[in-house]
């Protein structure tokens, strides 16, 4: 039996898993929520969370939610219609995991979102995100992103996770001065020059990329955490003068100059909780 779990509280939204949808769809207008059309998984969780029977739930019960997490341990056979979420204007954090949906165009109406995460998608399924000016945390992983032009308007981003995509050019992010976290692991990228402009950056993950040297990081004075595992990087000399560096993840046994790093830097081939 397929199991679907919805977790929602009054304060997050993250999305994982989709089916391909035409890019010609227009963003929906805000609509009145019709309780009868809402997927049972949503109603069952709301019922448990709010202490009401499914029959007692009304529009206001759903509209008040600020955090929503929907997950399944199996893909649903039929894509869910989540267009009603466009009317849940109080959502600030949105999370959907391993669920097939008809489309994601409802996201464009969630202007209060601060966190959004989608894993397993195609860009043709997504609406423009330029309306999401409150967005601070964005995770788009396991997709087919090639160009980052779509995130240029999101100037308030503080964390950005783009691992497991098809990105080759980072130049569109060079003006994102508020970024403190960037994950571009598992992308066919070899040039990270744009990262040198991210003066607030504290954590950078470039695992499983074709990046060959770290020269462009030498001026990142706030960098604390760096993951360079499964890359052809052979020297850490550019990191020697980054006083705030605390953690370096590398599994290159041929790297001969790790001793140049301050003793305060923790070096490991496995993840370290910072």
The structural domains of the chain, with segments of one domain joined by +, span 1-139, 145-274
Query: What's the rounded mean pLDDT across residues 212-239?
Result: 96
CATH C-level class of 145-274: alpha beta
Q: What is the pLDDT of residue 49?
A: 74
Residues 157-209 have pLDDT tens digits of 999 999 999 999 999 999 999 999 999 999 999 999 999 999 999 999 999 99
The mean-pLDDT minimum among 19-33, 44-58, 85-99, 126-140 falls in 19-33
Q: What is the pLDDT of residue 104?
A: 86
The mean-pLDDT minimum among 1-15, 50-64, 222-236 falls in 1-15
The mean-pLDDT minimum among 21-25, 68-72, 155-159, 163-167 falls in 21-25
Task: Report pTM.
Answer: 0.84
Q: What is the pLDDT of residue 50?
A: 77
Q: Would you list the DSSP string of the chain?
A: ---EEEEEE---EEEE------TTPPPPPP----GGGS-HHHHHHHHHHHT--GGG--HHHHHT--EEEEEESS--SS-B--GGGGG-TT--EEEEES--BS--GGGGG-TT-SEEEEES--GGG----TT-TT--EEEEESS-----GGGTT-TT-SEEE--SS-----GGGTT-TT--EEE--SSS----GGGGG-TT--EEE-TTS-----GGGTT-TT--EEE-TTS-----GGGTT-TT--EEE---TT---GGGS-TTSEEESS----
Q: How confident is the model at residue 78 (pLDDT cuts 50, 70, 90)?
A: confident
């Amino acid at each position: 039996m397929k199991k679907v779990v919805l977790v929602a509280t009054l304060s997050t939204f993250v999305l994982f898993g989709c089916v391909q949808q035409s890019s010609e769809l227009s963003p929906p207008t805000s609509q009145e929520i019709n309780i009868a059309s809402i997927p049972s998984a949503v109603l069952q969780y709301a019922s448990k969370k709010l202490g009401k029977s499914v029959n007692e739930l009304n529009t206001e019960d759903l509209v008040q939610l600020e955090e929503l997490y929907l997950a399944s341990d199996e893909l649903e056979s039929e894509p869910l219609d989540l267009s009603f979420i466009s009317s849940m204007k109080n959502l600030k954090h949105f999370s959907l995991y391993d669920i097939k949906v008809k489309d994601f165009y409802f996201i464009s109406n969630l202007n209060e979102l601060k966190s959004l995460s989608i894993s397993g998608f195609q860009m043709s399924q997504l609406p423009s995100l330029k309306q999401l000016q409150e967005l601070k945390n964005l995770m788009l992983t396991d997709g087919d992103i090639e160009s980052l032009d779509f995130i240029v308007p999101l100037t308030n981003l503080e964390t950005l996770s783009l691992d497991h995509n098809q990105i080759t050019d980072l130049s569109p992010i060079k003006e994102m001065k508020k970024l403190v976290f960037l994950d571009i692991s598992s992308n066919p990228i070899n040039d990270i020059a744009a990262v040198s402009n991210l003066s607030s950056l504290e954590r950078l993950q470039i695992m499983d990329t074709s990046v060959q040297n770290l020269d462009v990081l030498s001026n990142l004075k706030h960098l604390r955490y760096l993951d360079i595992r499964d890359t052809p990087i052979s020297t850490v000399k550019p990191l020697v003068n980054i006083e705030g560096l605390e953690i370096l993840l590398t599994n290159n046994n041929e790297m001969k100059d790790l001793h140049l790093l301050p003793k305060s830097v923790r070096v490991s081939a496995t993840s370290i909780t910072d």
